[in-house]
Structure formats: structure tokens, C-alpha cells
Amino acid sequence: MGRTYETEPFEVTAESIRAYMNAVGDTRVEPDLVAPPTYAMVYGFDAYWQLWSDKEVALDTAHLVHGEQSFTYHRPVRPGDLLKTTGRIAGISARGNMEFVTFDLSAKDAGDQPVSEASALFIIRTP
Amino acid sequence: MTAVREVVDFKAIKIGDALPDLRKTVTVEQIRAYAAASGDRNPIHLDDEFARRAGLPGVIAHGMLTMAFVNQLVTDWLGSRGAVRSLQGRFAGMVLPGDEVRCTGTVLNKDDSRRRITLSLGAANQRGERVFTKGVAEAEV
């Protein structure tokens, strides 16, 4: 509980946004390229990865499923943004053979202004 | 299809309006491309044998890929002048390669003073089994 994980500053590029959109199959063309809202998962990903790899928390990632996800956005994200995300274990609980982990994240730009927040619920089913 | 999207007209939006459905057939190649683009290379998405050992039928799509489809349903409808302020939902079922995910949405609420729209969102597979539920997005138009 309360453990935090911080990403290195993530530099948003047009290539990274396009690769993400191509993978999703979102082929829109716009004069002003703005990252899709769910791209928050890309610039914040390293925080999730640090949580999943934390040997002291030792989550069984082979049996981890993503249960719920929420995002709130303060402003659009564009190429050139330098974003740092901090993730925090907000709660761990168990019920039967299932463990629930709530992970809250907050992303800020190079000027330390808030860009987005997120919350993920992971469910680990012990076989 | 490549198109410059039209901007949604706030005045014309009515509570209960349905968004045009978005259908996506998920492939192994798409899951790999998503893993590379997102950084999420968890082997349950990439390695059939690993996935089976973990008790799955084989590789499964990232839940966030399904949520990205739902996101696209919203942004396609919203056009370039709308901004999504929040997005949430629950991953209710697995999506496997070959599945067709159908994303649906309706206008739940409209706040004229703040020019905000609340949408109810979901996604189901080709058998009608729900894979994304309790979806809600708030957008400023």
C-alpha cells in the first residue's frame, strides 16, 4: 500500500502516436495531431510495468487480468510533450482466491502542470 | 478508411441519441502491433504456449485495446473540436484473435451551460457476449 513508481520523462512523438493509432486501426487524419485519450496508457506504461515487476509486491502477472480502468484529462497531449507519470498502489484486498490491486496514476508535463489521471483495477486469480 | 472527421453539432445532440457502431475484427498481428506501440509485451498477449499454461485458451487481446476501440467510437463521433474529459469502464470478458468487437454508445446526458456530453458505452463480441461494460465518457463539445 502506498508504494509509488515514477516514469522517466516520456517524450511524445508523432511517430509514437501514429504507431499507437495504427495498431488500434484509428486511421483518421487531422491537421493538428492530438493523442487519443487512451494513449495515456502509453506514456504512463512504465509505471504499470514497474508495479508488475516489483519483486517485493510480487504480483502473479501470468494470472493478472485488467478489471477496470478510468482516465480523466486536463488537456490534450501533442507531439513534443514531455510527460512524467507517477503510479501509486492505492489499495490491495483479497476475496476468496482473488486479489484486487488498485493503482492510481497521475501525469504531469515539463512545467509540472497536471495532464491526466488514471486508475486501474487489477485482479489476480490464484489457480 | 481515411477521412477528416466532421465536427459534431452540439445543438443537434439529443439525450438518447445512438452513436454509430464501430466494429473491429481483432487479429494476432493487431495484438502484436498494439504490444509494440503500447510497450505492454506481457506474454499472455504474445505467446500462445505461455497463455495456455496460464489457463487461457491462447493469446488474448489487451483489455486496453478494447478500451481504445471504445475510445475511437467516441472520438470518431466527436470530431476534432470535441475533447474527451474522462473515460472509464470495466473489462467484462476476454477478446481473442478472430473476435469481432462491436462498440456501442448512447448520449446519457447533455449539459448546455458547460457544453458537456455524457456518453454510455459498451462493447460485445460476435456472440453478443459483453466484453466492456459500465463504460462512461464525458466530453466537452
**Which chain A residues have a beta carbon less than 8 Å from that of B40?**
41, 45, 48-49
CATH architecture of structural domain A4-125: Roll (3.10)
Q: Which residues pair with B37 in a beta bridge?
A: none
pTM, two decimals, is: 0.95
Q: For residues B39 and A46, give the distance between their C-alpha atoms in angstroms, rounded to a whole number.
A: 8
- Over chain B (141 residues), the average pLDDT of each successive run of 10 is 59 94 98 96 95 94 98 91 93 98 98 95 98 98 90
pLDDT single digits (tens) A10-68: 999 999 999 999 999 998 877 789 999 999 999 999 999 999 999 999 999 888 989 99
The domains of chain A are located at 4-125
Closest by Cα among B79, B41, B130, B69 to A21: B69
**Which chain A residues have a beta carbon less than 8 Å from that of B63?**
65-66, 69
In a domain, B44, yes or no: no
With beta carbons less than 8 A apart as the criterion, state whether A90 and A3 touch.
no
Structural domains of chain B, count = 1
Q: Do B68 and A36 touch (CB under 8 A)?
A: yes
Strand runs labelled E in B3-141: 22-25, 83-91, 100-111, 116-124, 130-140
**Which chain B residues have a beta carbon less than 8 Å from that of A97?**
none
Q: How many CB atoms lie within 10 A of CB B98?
A: 11
Q: Do B5 and A30 touch (CB under 8 A)?
A: yes
The shortest CB-CB distance from A72 to any of B5, B72, B85 is to: B85
Which CATH number do you get for residue B104? 3.10.129.10
Q: For residues B54 and B2, give the distance between their C-alpha atoms in angstroms, rounded to a whole number.
A: 39
Residue B94 domain boundaries: 12-26+61-140
Q: What is the ipTM of this complex?
A: 0.95
